[in-house]
Amino acid sequence: MKKILLALISTLVFACTSDEEAGKVQYLAVCSYGNGCEFSELLLDQRDVDLALGREHFWAQAGPNATLILEGCVAEVDEERTIEEIHADYGGTGDPRMVEPVDIARYISGMGCFECDTETKKLSFEISSVEVSGSAYFYINFKDKESFMPNAAYQQFYKGAEGIREIVIDQLMRNGFLEQYIIDQQGGKYMYRLPVQHDYLTPVEGEFTEGDFKKAFKKTGNKRRELDMYQEEYEGFSEEGEVLKFWLGSTPEICLAPDQFAFMGMYGIGYIKIDGVTYLLTEASIPGYRMRITKVEKGSYSFNPSGYTRLN
């Protein structure tokens, strides 16, 4: 499946490259045949427009006077007509209507233009804190609604811990439980099952809903581009009252269930959905603690949980 990366409109970046072009405004036209178009200033960098549309070297090739036209799932670059002409050609009457900047990622997602990406993701991360520091990875499986951390990753994260090398530990998170599959020094196989608790920092606590999230956390205005996605910083407070800052990267190609707010994997890392668009939690921090995603890629795993004796 073609991986579609959708970017969230964020920062004003002029698409001009010379002094003569500086200050020119490019426009986005959202059109409907028979009804004309609505126009807004195009505030997204050219490269990120292409990412949002899932098309390489499309808008990036457009000149400074071009208008980007969206009509349903069809995108067109127009370098000839004025906005008045475009509006009239789509059946509009009167003067073109100017609206607030349109979030291209949300528009494309809302139109259902792309298939949902259901491939398993491998998330590499690093954590630095007073209690534990290390780097590792785990898998998020959207089809089976589970997360898996293999022994190799567990050993990598907890390297140096006493006795860690003498045992094998695979972790599987599903149905609200964290299952640890342990093979001891004598070859005994045991499974220990615990309710999922966010022992590590996450803005999603307990029965948090989208409404709770919006009340608790606000955008700071800081934006960046990392991991091939546009990200925005949020700020609020942890359950202990400490300032909690985190970054969300727009990944609308990931489709959560209609009534699902979050899909969190190991260590409170995962995806949340706001206003119908899915975001990856790419970084979170409070004083003395910082977690960040270092890589996102396609992945796969296999694990056989049979033959283990349950301990609880």
User: What are 49-94's pLDDT values in tens digits?
Assistant: 888 887 778 898 899 889 999 988 778 899 999 999 999 988 999 9
Nearest CA-CA partner of 67 in 75, 51, 78, 57: 78
Residue 202 — very low, low, confident or very high, per pLDDT cuts 50/70/90? low
Q: What is the arithmetic mean of pLDDT over 21-30?
A: 76
- Reading the block at residue 216, the tokens are 């608790």
Taking 60 as the threshold, does the pLDDT of residue 34 lie above it? yes
Overall pTM > 0.85:
no
Summarised one tens digit per residue, pLDDT across range 129-141 is 988 899 999 999 9
Taking 50 as the threshold, does the pLDDT of residue 128 lie above it? yes
Q: Give the phi and the psi of residue 72 in degrees, each rounded to 5.
A: 65, -130
- Compute the half-sphere exposure of residue 58: CA atoms within 13 Å on the CB side of its CA: 16
Q: What is the arithmetic mean of pLDDT over 197-224?
A: 78
Nearest CA-CA partner of 37 in 109, 93, 75: 93
Q: Per mean pLDDT, which range of 12-16, 144-148, 166-170, 304-308 is the poorest? A: 12-16
